[in-house]
Structure 1
Amino acid sequence: MGADTPMSADTPMSADTPMSADTPMSADPPKAVGIVWGLLVLNTLGSAGAKTIVPLPRSLIQMVTMGALVTAFALALTLNHRLRIRASAYLSLLTLLLVTSVLSSAHLESGLGALFRCARLALFVGTLWLLSRWWDSGPTFVRHHIRMYFAVLGSVAAGLVVSPGAALPDLYGGRLVGAVWPLTPPQIGQYAAVIIGLAVLLLLGGRTDRAGAAVIIVPSLVLLVLTHTRTATLGLLVGLALAIGSLLLTSAAARRFVTWAVLCAAVAAVAFSSALAEWFLRGQSEENFSSLTGRAKVWDALLAAPRSTVEQLFGVGLGDKSFGGLPIDNSWLAVYQEQGLTGVVLVAAIIIVLGGVALLRPPSLSRACAIFMISYCAIASYTEAGLGDASPYLLHLAVAASLLAAPAAADPLATPEGPRPRSARRAQRSEVI
């Protein structure tokens, strides 16, 4: 969504060629950009979750995550010391949300911790601004996103192998948790669903081969199933349906995928209907299921709580996304609680603007990946908090914004390149994610 250059029109794809596989790309950003992105991912992992194999004090985890954010900002500033940034509606709205957060937290109604969270959000947004220099609608940040979260899932798999009892504790109903780093089932499910969806789209777009995609998709799918996370599963299915649907008219690969997906879904629905229903219900009672595992009770109490006009407009300041000691587990209500109606309007504007820009783009792999990320975040926002503070969801949307940015202008001093040989194009498509 860059505003420093005219809005791009991604190269339309023919029905017989990979999606944008041969589209010339701008110069690759420094490899250190991937390190910055990995540090941002580390910062948003959080410090609360299941008991780990080796006990990690929460204070130590918080030092690591905050240290990662400070390091990410410093490294991004070093890489972009001339402060070259690309204007972005997403980052502009995120900056306004930061200002709203500071105004709501200044009253200290949520304690000094609110100002600390504002400082964290400021570093987070500032780092994204510095990275925006390399947002050019290419798949660079998609690959960084997949690799970093796959590394996180690798730690989850390691914990499952080393200590199955700690990774599948009774406290969480036998659902998979992080036994190396404290991660909850919804977190693991989110990471798995996002990289599965992106890997599928890269495969359909000819940006990786089947072996490379399988390395990501198969183990991530196993971990997703073990988490029993309904929101992540629904977000994955709906997000992929919308993303692939945007390619049906221009991509033969997308049409073939839809055909096989429908056939496999029909077979699974007939052969494994009882197992799927059992997995979906997770052994919950009808009352517990209808109240969304108790979330609805917290939501009702939050909405019924008395508020002053200022609190309605600006909230009570950044907190831990809880109300009455219980997690809110809804992005819109969490934003309403902490940043008021102003914050809700800004978050809605972020989703609407990104979605609107994606719909205006011609069919392309970048557009499909952006649609997947936006739709996933919109679906997950109903039962997960995070759209109003530094979180994986804001990183997901940042990836979408980078995919919707106008391609960077070519360097006039660069040597013009002729058509790439077929072997180079094949190497690009075979690159491991």
Structure 2
Amino acid sequence: MGGDPMRGGLPGGPDTADTRPGAEQRPAGTPKAVWIVWALLGLNTLGSAGAKTIVTLPRSLIQMATMGALVSAFALALMLNLRLRIRASAFVFLLTLLLVPSVISSVNLEVGFGALFRCARLALFIGTLWLLSRWWDGSLRFVRYHIRMYFAALGSVAAGLAISPGTAMPEYYGGRLVGALWPLTPPQIGQYSAVIIGLTVLLLLGRQTTGAGAAMIIVPTFVLLAMTHTRTAMLGLLIGLALAIGSLVLTSAAARRFFAWAVLCATVAAVAFASALQAWFMRGQSKENFSNLTGRAKVWDALLAEPRTIQEKVFGVGLGDKSFGGLPIDNSWLAVYNEQGLLGVALVAAILIVLGGVALLRPPSLPRACAIFLISYVAISSYTEAGLGDASPYLLHLALAASLLAAPAGATPLTTPAVPRRRIPRWDRNREVI
């Protein structure tokens, strides 16, 4: 594709290197095909079940495309890393351990042969992350990959809305925006939108993109997010950004200004548009329906009341479709408990604790802020969305956070001549310039 808005270029124009002070440089030896591998992983996690599309796509065909994308991602990553050079990663190691309860519970075939297929899919997903870990160096390169990938997915949503508004906003979803070309649900679209907006705002604050480039992404993406009426995504975006920007306020004047203006605008909007915001948030639901989380609480209570053997409590019943009694679980912790047992819950908790702990111990920086946003968003979404125990966008978000928290490669040369170091006062040597 032509110019990259995230680098401040114009669509259709030539790609040029960002030569501004503090701009990210691409380490020599990093293949451009790594971006393709990341995009294929994203395609695999789009899912095969969702809304009705303009042209009916057989689920088997979609599954073939998504699984083919994962196999291709693994094969391409292996070609790029034939010497199997990997970096130590507590995140990927814990994910690998998560395979243990997944396989132990799935071999019983309690949920059918599909459980073993999902185990193989999760193993390929984790294997690809191990191969990609070679290029995890704490830079923002994978952030740009992430934004491009999900912005392309949202482009298909916008195209479907333009072609067939009735199909893109069906009545059976309460008029919420869905994917009319690819079967994406409102929560999926809301998730991609929130992550894109949050990361782009942080790149703007870190002067890694221009205001015009950021606006080209944030404005249309926010419109799509509002049309999905996804409360979890909106709350995750606001809370995640607040925590991420809060980690920068002591070292970034831009972050302090943005935070102050955001609080002021939020206060004014809350007063001036209180009724409209309440209507958007309630989505026409009754207070009773809202209090039981659109019926989720009933499924959760039934799942917890289900009699289980000791083995099922420890290892779960096997990887399934994240449903119970034919209804979606819509909670990552209960879905993991159902499919991978208490051992799986402990490992998923360890993943979030380790990533969060490492992020808190890192000095203030833009990569750290992006990681805090992603970890916070995933933690908030885990209450009403499933996916932390299987190959999913949520694990891909956490993988991006792990890449941002990785220590920089010590001897990685740059593609541009080194800039002479300026003398930094002793009191300011621990402060990272964004």
Instruction: Tell me how far 1:22 sits from its aligned partner.
Output: 4.9
1:133-282, aligned counterparts within 5 Å? 133-282=134-283
Give the conservation status (yes or no) of the 8 Å contact 1:101–1:339.
yes
Q: Percent identity over the alignment?
A: 78
Give the conservation status (yes or no) of the 8 Å contact 1:26–1:136.
no
- The answer as to 2:417 corresponding to 1:417 is yes
Q: Say which SS state the counterpart of residue 371 (structure 1) adopts.
A: helix
The CA distance in 1 between the partners of 2:218 and 2:134, in whole Å, is: 30
Q: Which residue of 2 aligns with 1:389?
A: 390
* Letter of the 1:115 counterpart: L
Instruction: Tell me how far 1:215 sits from its aligned partner.
Output: 1.1
1:314-353, aligned counterparts within 5 Å? 314-353=315-354
Runs of at least 5 residues in structure 1 that lack an aligned partner in the other structure: 1-18, 422-433
Task: Write out per-residue CA displacement over residues 131-180 of structure 1, whole angstroms, 9 at most, x where no aligned residue.
Answer: 00000000011000000000000000000000000000001000000000
The CA distance in 2 between the partners of 1:20 and 1:361, in whole Å, is: 22
Instruction: Tell me how far 1:238 sits from its aligned partner.
Output: 0.2
Would the alpha carbon gap of residues 252 and 390 (structure 1) be closer, same or farther in structure 2, given more than 3 Å must change? same
Q: Which residue of 2 aligns with 1:299?
A: 300
Give the conservation status (yes or no) of the 8 Å contact 2:25–2:415.
no
Instruction: Tell me how far 1:263 sits from its aligned partner.
Output: 1.3
Instruction: Tell me how far 1:21 sits from its aligned partner.
Output: 2.5
Would the alpha carbon gap of residues 40 and 47 (structure 1) be closer, same or farther in structure 2, given more than 3 Å must change? same
1:48-63, aligned counterparts within 5 Å? 48-63=49-64
Would the alpha carbon gap of residues 20 and 195 (structure 1) be closer, same or farther in structure 2, given more than 3 Å must change? farther
* Letter of the 2:418 counterpart: G
The CA distance in 2 between the partners of 1:409 and 1:322, in whole Å, is: 46
Give the conservation status (yes or no) of the 8 Å contact 2:156–2:182.
yes
The CA distance in 1 between the partners of 2:267 and 2:371, in whole Å, is: 28
Instruction: Tell me how far 1:419 sits from its aligned partner.
Output: 1.1
Give the conservation status (yes or no) of the 8 Å contact 2:243–2:372.
yes
Instruction: Tell me how far 1:103 sits from its aligned partner.
Output: 1.1
Cα RMSD after superposing both structures = 1.6
Instruction: Tell me how far 1:410 sits from its aligned partner.
Output: 1.3
Q: Say which SS state the counterpart of residue 121 (structure 2) adopts.
A: helix
Give the conservation status (yes or no) of the 8 Å contact 1:331–1:382.
yes
The CA distance in 2 between the partners of 1:177 and 1:369, in whole Å, is: 27
Task: Write out per-residue CA displacement over residues 382-430 of structure 1, whole angstroms, 9 at most, x where no aligned residue.
Answer: 0000000000000000000000001012148x89933189xxxxxxxxx
Give the conservation status (yes or no) of the 8 Å contact 1:21–1:205.
no
Give the conservation status (yes or no) of the 8 Å contact 2:195–2:374.
yes
Give the conservation status (yes or no) of the 8 Å contact 2:23–2:208.
no
* Letter of the 1:205 counterpart: G
Would the alpha carbon gap of residues 234 and 37 (structure 1) be closer, same or farther in structure 2, given more than 3 Å must change? same
Q: Which residue of 2 aligns with 1:132?
A: 133
User: Is 97-106 or 378-387 further displaced after alignment?
Assistant: 97-106
Would the alpha carbon gap of residues 265 and 416 (structure 1) be closer, same or farther in structure 2, given more than 3 Å must change? closer
Instruction: Tell me how far 1:26 sits from its aligned partner.
Output: 3.5
Give the conservation status (yes or no) of the 8 Å contact 1:188–1:227.
yes
Query: How many residues in Structure 1 have an aligned counterpart in Structure 2?
Result: 402
Task: Write out per-residue CA displacement over residues 220-251 of structure 1, whole angstroms, 9 at most, x where no aligned residue.
Answer: 10000000000000000000000000000000
Instruction: Tell me how far 1:20 sits from its aligned partner.
Output: 8.8
Q: Say which SS state the counterpart of residue 241 (structure 2) adopts.
A: helix
Give the conservation status (yes or no) of the 8 Å contact 1:20–1:205.
no
The CA distance in 2 between the partners of 1:386 and 1:23, in whole Å, is: 32
The higher-RCO structure (CA 8 Å, 6+ apart) is: 1
Instruction: Tell me how far 1:327 sits from its aligned partner.
Output: 0.2
The CA distance in 1 between the partners of 2:415 and 2:53, in whole Å, is: 53
Give the conservation status (yes or no) of the 8 Å contact 2:190–2:228.
yes
* Letter of the 1:417 counterpart: P
Instruction: Tell me how far 1:35 sits from its aligned partner.
Output: 0.5
Q: What's the TM-score once normalised by structure 1's chain length?
A: 0.91
Would the alpha carbon gap of residues 322 and 20 (structure 1) be closer, same or farther in structure 2, given more than 3 Å must change? farther
Q: Say which SS state the counterpart of residue 100 (structure 1) adopts.
A: helix
The CA distance in 2 between the partners of 1:75 and 1:23, in whole Å, is: 25
User: Is 200-209 or 261-270 further displaced after alignment?
Assistant: 261-270
Q: Which residue of 2 aligns with 1:86?
A: 87
Instruction: Tell me how far 1:27 sits from its aligned partner.
Output: 3.1
Runs of at least 5 residues in structure 2 that lack an aligned partner in the other structure: 1-19, 422-434
Give the conservation status (yes or no) of the 8 Å contact 2:374–2:397.
yes
Q: Say which SS state the counterpart of residue 99 (structure 1) adopts.
A: helix
Instruction: Tell me how far 1:28 sits from its aligned partner.
Output: 6.2
Give the conservation status (yes or no) of the 8 Å contact 2:143–2:199.
yes
Q: Say which SS state the counterpart of residue 180 (structure 2) adopts.
A: coil
The CA distance in 2 between the partners of 1:292 and 1:21, in whole Å, is: 45
The CA distance in 1 between the partners of 2:391 and 2:404, in whole Å, is: 20
- The answer as to 2:72 corresponding to 1:66 is no
Instruction: Tell me how far 1:195 sits from its aligned partner.
Output: 0.5
The CA distance in 2 between the partners of 1:179 and 1:88, in whole Å, is: 38
1:19-58, aligned counterparts within 5 Å? 21-22=22-23, 26-27=27-28, 29-58=30-59
The CA distance in 2 between the partners of 1:221 and 1:267, in whole Å, is: 19
Give the conservation status (yes or no) of the 8 Å contact 2:24–2:140.
no
